[in-house]
Amino acid sequence: MKAVRFSTFGHPLKVTELVEEPDAALKPGEARLEVLATPINPSDVLTLTGQYGQLPKLPATPGNEGVGRVVEVKDSTAVRVGDLVFLPLGAGTWRTHLTAPAEALMPLPPGTDVQQASMMFVNPPTADIMLRQFVTLQPGDWVLQNAANSAVGRYVITLAKLAGYKTVNVVRREELAAELTALGADAVLVDAENLPERVREVTGGAKVRLAFDAVGGDSTMRLGDSLATGGVVVNYGGMSGKAPKLSTAATIFKDITLRGFWLVLWMKRTPREEQRALFTRLAGLIANGTLKTAVEGTFALEDIKDALARAMEGGRGGKVLLTPNGKV
């Protein structure tokens, strides 16, 4: 078996290496899985650099989600050899094989695209929960977001459309407008100092009460200045490397609130039954093709350096996936 390993924090291309792992005997109730597809998420890169909010004990194997095939089971009927299952969240998925409790494994709905399913456990629930947790929206209400061409941003567009909400989507490049509009975006704007005025223009002066921020810094402030009195900006990322902030006008005169969202905390606080219900619903939407995101490319585990380099580049057309046991 092979796995990506890092023993110190630093630049991802310098700290990662591919290592051989010994085969470990299964304990009763465990299943062995061959990893079919696992994505490189921004949180994985931040973990490698030591900048993420929760860091593993080193040495460690990166990777938080993916899809695998059961190749061996011991003393359990929960899964069978050949079953396709979602990999356990946070299991260190950048490897050819891993073991997990058989009872905890969630099967893929029949006919589900493996690549799309491999990206289900981080970005889709982030988008879904943020749409439901912070502001009670009604059909026809508007949602504002930056980094709208990101994976989370694209899921927000689709899930908002399903719920009957409208979206204003802020990007850095004009050429993204046509693609996001085809996905279901109601308005696409390039981030600029006059963003609040342009948001009022495209929404017809509607009271926008919810915004999602993955950038930080002045971009967060422009979102806050675009919201109606009592609105909420939810920060879930820091692509700019700067802390999120709101203007004095927003906080004092409009009572705008800045909140944070981290999926890890949500899972710690949420009953397992509620989590399973969410993931089951999202799995159904992925299985029927409603939820999907573009894949930039797939890489073998041996090409981890190339995969990381591509994942960290700007202007990508989609997610970078690792396929440790051959393309799927």
In the chain, the amino acid numbered 129 is I
Residues annotated as catalytic are: 52
Reading the block at residue 13, the tokens are 């291309």
Residue appearing with tokens 């050819």? 96
Angle, vertex CA 184, rays to CA 183 and CA 185, nearest 5: 105
Contact 182, 158 (CB under 8 A): no
241-249, long-range: CB < 8 A, 24+ apart = 241/216, 242/216, 242/217, 242/218, 243/216, 243/217, 244/213, 244/216, 244/217, 244/220, 245/216, 245/217, 245/218, 245/220, 245/221, 246/220, 246/221, 247/221, 249/225
Contact 311, 151 (CB under 8 A): no
Q: What is the DSSP letter of 54?
A: S
Reading the block at residue 155, the tokens are 């899921």
Contact 226, 213 (CB under 8 A): no
Contacts of 92 (CB under 8 A, 6+ apart): 3, 56, 60, 61, 62, 63, 98
